[in-house]
Structure 1
Amino acid sequence: MELQGTVKKVFETQTFASGFQKREMILLTQEQYPQPISIEFLSDKINLLDNLHEGENIKVGINIRGREWTNPQGEVKYFNSITGWRVEKGTDSPSEPVHATPAAQPVAAASNENPFADEEDDDLPF
């Protein structure tokens, strides 16, 4: 999947005791009601955010991940995260969404010939 928008914020890299690293960014979508979307980049993908600046238009390749967690009271909770894996810099102006259009069908030339002239007569009443 992909998201397109403007870089609102890029956070510093977080390093955990296990050595695991992650870095987050906020992408402001370009739609009627813009949404601030938090996207995390993990391990070897954190360097993709090094050259991004606030206000820059980008397209981000993402995966949506989900997980289940049971709290100490035994209640099951579900969480989602958006993980980025590719960043493409866009143009300086916001672009309109691209909509698919059907391919043009060739138009047959009009003809005055009877298309049924070569068919045999049948005995159907209609």
Structure 2
Amino acid sequence: MDANLIYEGKIIKIEDTQQVTDRFKKRAFVVETDENYSQLIQAELTQDKCSLIDDYKVGDKVRVHFNIRGREWNGRYFTNLNAWRLERVGAPAANNAPVGDLPPPPEEDAVGNDYEDDLPF
């Protein structure tokens, strides 16, 4: 089941793209939600979606569309928030165009079947 989930907040950290293998890359960023008990949410962009955050900077308010991905590795369980679309919040309509329109297809082999490294992610 792929659930399209959305949250909003302010970007507080953008990491560099990591080339995990010759066929897989990822980029993490952190958003602080704007609520009574704010949350620090780390999401991940993968493959061609890594560049979606290039036009954003720390302090920008964004709406993040993401899917939850989970897997087991050596008896441990890992959960990732896989972002596939970013939108500016509070920007003028002309500058509020969404970046990344469709959810990505499932990444069956991004970490699974023929991933030969021993890292869990």
TM range (shorter): 0.5 to 0.7
Mapped to 1, the partners of 2:14 and 2:21 lie a distance apart of 22
1:7 and 1:17 map into 2 onto residues whose CA distance is: 27
**Which of these two proteins has the greater Rg computed from alpha carbons?**
1
Q: Distance in 2 between matches of 1:31 and 1:80?
A: 23
Match of 1:9?
A: 13
Give the count of matched residue pairs.
87
> Unaligned regions of 5+ residues in structure 2, if any?
92-121
- 2:23 aligned residue (3, 19, 26): 19
1:79-118 alignment, distance < 5 Å: 79-91=78-90
**Structure 1 stretches of at least 4 aligned residues deviating more than 6 Å after TM superposition:** none
The offset of 1:69, in angstroms, is 1.8
C-alpha distance in 1 between matches for 2:56 and 2:89: 11
**Does 2:35 align with 1:36?**
no
| SS in structure 2 at match of 1:45 | helix
TM-score (normalised: structure 1): 0.65
| C-alpha RMSD of the superposition | 1.2
Identity %: 36
Q: Counterpart in 2 of 1:65?
A: 69
3-state secondary structure, aligned to 1:16:
strand
CA distance in 2, matches of 1:43, 1:67: 18
For 1:52 and 1:80, the matched residues in 2 are separated by 25
